Amino acid sequence: MLHELLFALSGYPGDVFVPYPPHPEQSFTFAIPSDFPLLHPAERDSLNRLGQLGWIYAQLKAFTTSVKNGKQTKDVASHGAYIQVLVTTLEHILNDYRHDILDMEKRILNKEDEAGGGVVPISLLISKLGRWELLLPALHTFVQKLQMEPQRYHGCRLFDLLMDQARSGISELRECMEKMIMQLHDVLYRQLTAWMVYGQWVDPDAEFFIMRCTNPKSTAGWQRHYDLAKDRIPKHLPLSLAESILFVGKAIATVSQMDDTPVLDDEEEDSGMTKSNVLVKKRRKIPIPEDMKKRHLQLLLSLHSCHTDDKQRMSPWIVYPQQLQQVVQKIRRSTADWLFSRVLVGDHGLQKYLTLFRKMFLLGYGDLATNLVDVCSMWRYPEHERRKRNKNTMVFRHQELNALLVKASVATDIEDQLAGYSLQIVANDNIRQTEFRFSDILIADTRCILTYDMHWPIDLFLSQADLAHYIELWSFLIALKTVQVSLSKLWRILRGGNVQPIPEENDEDDYRERVVWRLRSHMLFWVDSLWSHVQANVISDHYQNLVEAIAPSFEGANTTKLKRRSFVVKALDFEEIQAAHEGYLQHILRGCLLSSPTCPEVMHKILQVCLDFCAVVERVAEDGAWQRSKRRKTVKTAAEIVNEWTENFGETTVQYAWIDQIMDMEKSFASLTEQFFELISNQSQTVKSSGRLDILLMQLDYNKWYSGKRYR
């Protein structure tokens, strides 16, 4: 009986302990048959408890064997480094169980635990295996979860399952899970070492949370090769940490590929290569400093030594991310500073990019913005409205738009600096409601944005979020410029056909004319005030502050400029310059009131009312009604007056029906501008200070136009 019991505990059934229920049903334990004689019910229950341990051990052993032998089945997780390490750790745990079985067999053979007459108490055997009665079933449950959802818990996703299981009241299970977590972190650290130190991406089983881009043509520059697989990032690692790991590895990988790529000659440049690839391959070789590699390697190796400390009893999901984040931040800062000093220099200097973005996205080139508004206004009427919106015309329309951008740049300072910039039409279903809210102003009924092809090396510094902020600012500023130009052009229309005043003025015609001129004046004053505030008080000031903050970082050894200052400004490192640039964008967004949840909607409505007003006046001018209202009046006879009021009764009312639309627009404009004034008056002090809103309020309310109405 004892030999049969030892065989069963080792995972092998026999004549006494058989699989239950019997074949063909699925067994779930080893048990003594019900017809087995000479056993007390208490003895049978105790032996069946031990048989259950043997059956669970057999299942765990079968699982480890299948993974070790590389047998791919639907019930076994996909093979890879992480699952192999997990199985190896599980085997070490099962070896402890086998060691206890062997020790029990030795004691039985040496008759150390006999109670007399060669009898070994079953209770003694159960007590010796007591810890396994809790641990093995818990491990079996863990393995079952792993087998039921192999894709969900594959690679780095195994961390989530292990940490969920480690939150247990069973101390033995917690220790086992922590051992597995520690071993899996070793695999992760090896991957991080290859990626962050040598720029090598080694992931044949799709386990790492960094992946190769499946569609490299969809992005530009170094972004085309690698990206984050966010569904693979373990829950205990923050997204910002994963992004830092991606940044360092991509930078090292890109520079390493430059080292391996020969410089192209002119014939190779004329081949079908993309522009961004030519840019990368034409860069001079940049050797990665060996001392930097060694320093980064030592930092990553220190993580292994930290985790071998047995005195560390903190939860792994707390201490491991903290230690890893400290190391990654040091490596990121070191890598970024090196790139900043070796890559973002010369023709690709950061100051050059910032200056060009200031002039393009923030409309520093005023003549380009005005020309673009003019050519777009001629393009959209009437050809644009007659076009059918289908896939075949979209490519053509994009080409037309970029041809307009080139046309607008002719004879301007930006004419030869449009590389990477393009106008794009964005479908409504591809953007969020709060994204690019002013993109439909430049071209009626069409969302148009200015974008930039983020290639190496500027995408080391700028993120896609930064580019989205620039696009949002451009959409707002070009919308404001469009309305300003449209209102300014009305002067020629309204002055057209004018003659010298005569004594016999028509009061009604004079009233209509005053209404139109008055509304145009109010609209143009509001638009000009907002435009001058944004350009002079917001963009110009904050841009100058940014330039002064980062200037010491570029002056280097040249300290002649610094000597003239009464104080020395500290040179910023790469990440501090990034933070300064992000703050610069946030200040401008606040100054343009784009960070407010309500102000953009009100401003959009105001600009739309202004455009509607311009459209009505242009239509009236085209119909000739405006010229008729300004035509020289002649003295009518009594008969002509009677005939006009009898035969043509009501014709005058229909002829001047457009004035009702103008009056409605005036009321709407007044209501919206009052609402806008109230909104910016109630902004927080932080927003007011950042956006210089006090100056805007004074400009809009210089004669108590709005505040006087509020307190009546």
Is the pLDDT at 295 greater than 80? The verdict is: yes
Of 11-15, 491-495, 537-541, the one with minimum mean pLDDT is 491-495
Position 78 scores a pLDDT of 53
Average the pLDDT over 425-442 and give the result.
73
Average the pLDDT over 413-419 and give the result.
82
Per the listing, tokens 């002090």 go with: 685
Q: What is the mean pLDDT of the chain?
A: 79
CA distance 166 to 177: 5
Question: In the chain, pLDDT over 70 holds for what percent of residues?
Answer: 77
CA distance 104 to 109: 9
Per the listing, tokens 């004892």 go with: 2
Residue 253: pLDDT band by 50, 70, 90 thresholds?
A: confident
**138 and 254 fall within a common domain:** no
| Long-range contacts at 485-488 (CB < 8 A, ≥ 24 apart) | 485/370, 485/373, 485/374, 485/377, 486/373, 486/377, 486/610, 486/611, 486/614, 487/520, 487/523, 487/524, 487/527, 487/610, 487/614, 488/524
Rounded to the nearest angstrom, the gap between the alpha carbon of residue 324 and the centroid of all alpha carbons in its chain is: 23
Position 639 scores a pLDDT of 59
**607 and 688 fall within a common domain:** yes
Is the pLDDT at 231 greater than 50? The verdict is: yes
Question: Who has greater pLDDT, 638 or 623?
Answer: 623
Position 462 scores a pLDDT of 83
| Residue 209 near residue 224 (C-beta atoms within 8 A) | no
- Assigned domain for 168 exists: no
Position 481 scores a pLDDT of 93
| CA angle, residues 255, 260, 263, in degrees to nearest 5 | 95
Return the bridge partners of 228, or none. Answer: 210
CA distance 655 to 649: 11
Is the pLDDT at 627 greater than 80? The verdict is: no
| Residue 630 near residue 509 (C-beta atoms within 8 A) | yes
Helix H segments across 150-289? 158-166, 171-198, 239-260, 266-269, 275-281
Residue 384: pLDDT band by 50, 70, 90 thresholds?
A: very low
- Assigned domain for 471 exists: yes
| Residue 598 near residue 556 (C-beta atoms within 8 A) | no
Cβ–Cβ contacts within 10 Å for residue 426, how many? 18
Is the pLDDT at 490 greater than 60? The verdict is: yes
Position 561 scores a pLDDT of 46
Would you say the pTM of this structure is higher than 0.85? no
42-75 residue pLDDT tens: 888 888 888 999 999 999 999 999 998 876 555 5
Of 282, 315, 343, which residue is a domain's last? 343
**132 and 207 fall within a common domain:** no
Per the listing, tokens 């039985």 go with: 108
- Assigned domain for 159 exists: no
**494 and 600 fall within a common domain:** yes
Return the bridge partners of 448, or none. Answer: 425
Question: In the chain, pLDDT over 90 holds for what percent of residues?
Answer: 29
**403 and 506 fall within a common domain:** yes
Residue 560: pLDDT band by 50, 70, 90 thresholds?
A: very low
Residue 454: pLDDT band by 50, 70, 90 thresholds?
A: confident
Is the pLDDT at 642 greater than 50? The verdict is: yes
Residue 442: pLDDT band by 50, 70, 90 thresholds?
A: confident
**500 and 592 fall within a common domain:** yes
140-199 residue pLDDT tens: 999 999 999 888 889 899 999 999 999 888 889 999 999 999 999 999 999 999 999 998
CA distance 95 to 116: 31
Average the pLDDT over 92-113 and give the result.
88
Question: Who has greater pLDDT, 137 or 454?
Answer: 137
Of 27-36, 240-249, 568-577, the one with minimum mean pLDDT is 568-577
Residue 298: pLDDT band by 50, 70, 90 thresholds?
A: very high
Of 210-214, 289-293, 701-705, the one with minimum mean pLDDT is 701-705
Position 651 scores a pLDDT of 46
Q: How far is CA 112 from CA 128, 156, 596, 610, in A?
A: 14, 48, 81, 101
Respond yes or no on whether the N-terminal peptide bond of residue 137 is cis (omega within 30° of 0): no
Question: Who has greater pLDDT, 691 or 263?
Answer: 691
**404 and 336 fall within a common domain:** no
DSSP string, 253-278: HHHHHHHHSPPP-HHHHTSS--HHHH
The domain spanning residue 462 has which CATH number? 1.20.120.1900
- Tell which residue, 313, 317, 140, has the closest CA to residue 237: 317
Respond yes or no on whether the N-terminal peptide bond of residue 21 is cis (omega within 30° of 0): yes
- Assigned domain for 465 exists: yes
- Assigned domain for 172 exists: no
| Residue 133 near residue 117 (C-beta atoms within 8 A) | no
Helix H segments across 380-506? 385-386, 391-409, 464-495
Of 312, 343, 374, which residue is a domain's last? 343
Is the pLDDT at 323 greater than 70? The verdict is: yes
- Assigned domain for 507 exists: yes
| Residue 617 near residue 512 (C-beta atoms within 8 A) | no
**519 and 655 fall within a common domain:** yes
Cβ–Cβ contacts within 10 Å for residue 346, how many? 8
Of 310, 343, 376, which residue is a domain's last? 343
- Assigned domain for 181 exists: no
**210 and 235 fall within a common domain:** yes
497-507 residue pLDDT tens: 443 343 444 55
Cβ–Cβ contacts within 10 Å for residue 305, how many? 8
Q: Burial letters for 524-538: b for 16+ Cβ neighbours within 10 Å, e otherwise?
A: bbbbebbbebbbebb
| Residue 574 near residue 337 (C-beta atoms within 8 A) | yes
**Whole domain around residue 433: which residue ranges?**
352-710
Is the pLDDT at 386 greater than 50? The verdict is: no
CA distance 72 to 70: 6
CA distance 202 to 217: 22
Question: Who has greater pLDDT, 49 or 279?
Answer: 49
113-130 residue pLDDT tens: 676 666 778 888 888 888
**216 and 320 fall within a common domain:** yes
Residue 284: pLDDT band by 50, 70, 90 thresholds?
A: low
Cβ–Cβ contacts within 10 Å for residue 602, how many? 19
Is the pLDDT at 477 greater than 80? The verdict is: yes
**128 and 46 fall within a common domain:** yes
Residue 565: pLDDT band by 50, 70, 90 thresholds?
A: very low
Number of domains in the chain: 3
- Assigned domain for 178 exists: no
Position 223 scores a pLDDT of 57
**80 and 130 fall within a common domain:** yes
Rounded to the nearest angstrom, the gap between the alpha carbon of residue 467 and the centroid of all alpha carbons in its chain is: 11
Return the bridge partners of 210, or none. Answer: 228
